[in-house]
Structure 1
Amino acid sequence: MFDVKKLQQRLGVSDDGALGRDTLTALFLKAGAKAEIAPELGLAANVHFRTYGLVENGLRLAHFMAQCAHESGGFRYNREIWGPTAAQKKYEMHAGLGNDQPGDGLRYLGRGPGQLTGRANYRLYGRKLGIDLESNPELLEIWSLGLLAFCAYWDNCSLNGWADQDNLKAVSNGINRGSPTSTKDPNGWTDRQDRYTRMQALIL
């Protein structure tokens, strides 16, 4: 475990050394979450971060928070802004995303803090969590459910291991490209680096 008291002091909350709901809520606020959603995220994180091993060390927490902050624009967006852009048009009938019906591109756009995208992912993580996300994709726009689904995605891609190695590029590509071993720079690479630097300074 990392130095929770030091984190609490940096966040300006009671430094009792217990990583609970209040500390996590303050962490989400520091990462950009609005006051009306930070408590919901903090409550969910207090359970799910432990379940998925995200608070076993500071590296895991810093990497996870930085990726969520990037994907959601500082926890401002739980639904992908739709144009559609040229890239979003490619979602339609995209085999890799499991989008096999007309309209799937929009129906299964990115949602939640981690911007889970594609029918195949909605089906897979819905089944893992016991929630019919494929039939009810908008459920991921509930911040707490979106966070839970992203925790499950993170776990399924074994990203804790890459975070333990402090390999930001691998973690980022695991999320952005679906493959931690991709040699390409992930989309939004500069912003991911900046957000991780800030989380690292806060948590570690």
Structure 2
Amino acid sequence: MPSPSLHPSLASSTLSLNSRGPEVAELQRRLAAAGFAPGAADGQFGARTEAAVRDFQRAHGLTVDGAVGPRTWAALGVQAEPPTAATGGGISLQQLQDLMPRLSDSRAAACLPHLNAAMAEADITTPQRQAAFLAQLAHESGELRFFEEIASGEAYEGRKDLGNTEPGDGPRYKGRGPIQLTGRSNYRTAGRALGIDLEGNPTRAADLDIGFRVAGWYWKGRGLNALADAGDFREITRRINGGFNGLAQREAYHRLALELLSV
């Protein structure tokens, strides 16, 4: 797939069956590069291109409607220039890299549109909420570099409290995503909430488009926005970690995120 790029006019355009023009040709090129089959890059949004869009949306956990809007463009690696957190929008690439300096340029660019989309979906839309969310993700995922638990997952085998009742469930449903989703029952619950079959396709939780959405779902569902509003970062850590492991590092990320987002 082409590298993620800033393209405000393209990312804001909506394309559907019978659309025509250079935007359609760019869509067709990106679909083809992603391994789908839209036909020739002729700038005409016909039935074959629509089918490729639907297949792409289905594979990436998007609403399967055959129309290309901001979320589908983002999954294709096209993003508009994000507004700053101070105005209630997403964060910028520079802010992300300043907060997580171990993140490579290519990884940061790949993560950003999905991160911003997930924060919007989960109402993580104020600087206070974003700073807390980003700080916790930075610690949990090694600055967004690790979306799958390094351990095999055998330690979770037979854990009925996690819903792991079938042989192989431990490795199958090991921790994935920037906030580690773990256990068959949690995969099932998250998947149902997001409209994705994560129980049947657990590795999708480690993909950027789904992993960030899972993290946002987890965050919002556990009332962490309210705690961020109240400035209770310690309790956010307890609810995510079950204790206070790594609290000093989490707090250091939080202080820097607050500074970067000008809170």
Q: Does 1:64 align with 2:110?
A: no
Structure 1 residue 169 and structure 2 residue 238: aligned? no
Aligned mates of 2:208, 2:143 — CA distance in 1? 13
Cα gap change, 1:142 to 1:188, in 2 (>3 Å) = same
Q: Does 1:53 align with 2:111?
A: no
Q: What is the DSSP-based 3-state SS (H/G/I as helix, E as strand, rest coil) of the residue aligned with 1:36? A: helix
- How far apart, CA to CA, are the structure 2 residues paired with 1:168 and 1:79? 25
Match of 2:104 in 1: 34
Question: Which of the numbers 246, 253, 263 marks the counterpart of 1:188?
Answer: 246
User: Which whole-Å CA distance do the structure 2 matches of 1:29 and 1:99 have between them?
Assistant: 37
- Alignment-derived partner of residue 123 in structure 1: 188
SS in 2 for 1:123: helix
Q: Structure 1 stretches of 5 or more lacking a match?
A: 1-13, 178-184
What is the identity, as a one-letter code, of the residue corresponding to 1:69? A
1:105 alignment counterpart: 170
- The C-alpha deviation readout for 1:149-200, integer Å capped at 9, x for no partner, is 11011111111011111111211122122xxxxxxx3222222222222212
SS at match of 2:105: coil
> How many aligned positions are there?
178
**TM-superposed deviation, 1:201:** 2.3
The structure-2 alpha-carbon separation of the partners of 1:138 and 1:62, relative to structure 1 and needing over 3 Å to count, comes to same
Whole-angstrom distance in 1 between the partners of 2:252 and 2:83: 29
The Cα of 1:132 is off from its aligned counterpart by 0.6
Distance of 1:190 and 1:106 partners within structure 2? 30
1:153 to 198, 218, 227: 218
3-state SS of the aligned residue for 2:92? Answer: helix
Match of 1:24 in 2: 92
Q: Tell me the CA shift for residue 31 of structure 1.
A: 3.1
| CA 19–168 in structure 1, closer or farther in 2 if over 3 Å, else same | closer
Partner of 1:10: none
Instruction: Give the distance between the partners of 1:96 and 1:151, measured in 2 at CA.
Output: 23
Q: TM-score, normalised by structure 1?
A: 0.78
Identity of aligned residues (%): 35
Counterparts in 2 of 1:169 and 1:95: CA distance versus 1, 3 Å: farther
Q: TM-score, normalised by structure 2?
A: 0.61
- In the alignment, the residues of structure 2 paired with residue 79 and residue 95 of structure 1 have an alpha-carbon distance, to the nearest angstrom, of 21
1:118 Cα deviation after fit: 1.4
SS at match of 2:111: helix
Residue type of the alignment partner of 1:73? G
CA distance in 1, matches of 2:82, 2:190: 36
Farther-moved stretch of structure 1 (92-101 vs 153-162): 92-101
Q: Secondary structure at the match of 1:76?
A: coil
- Aligned-partner Cα distance in 1 for 2:134–2:207: 18
Relative to structure 1, the CA distance from residue 106 to residue 45 in structure 2 (aligned partners, 3 Å threshold; closer, same or farther) is: same
Check the 8 A contact 1:108/1:119 in 2, yes or no. Answer: yes
Radius of gyration: which is bigger?
A: 2
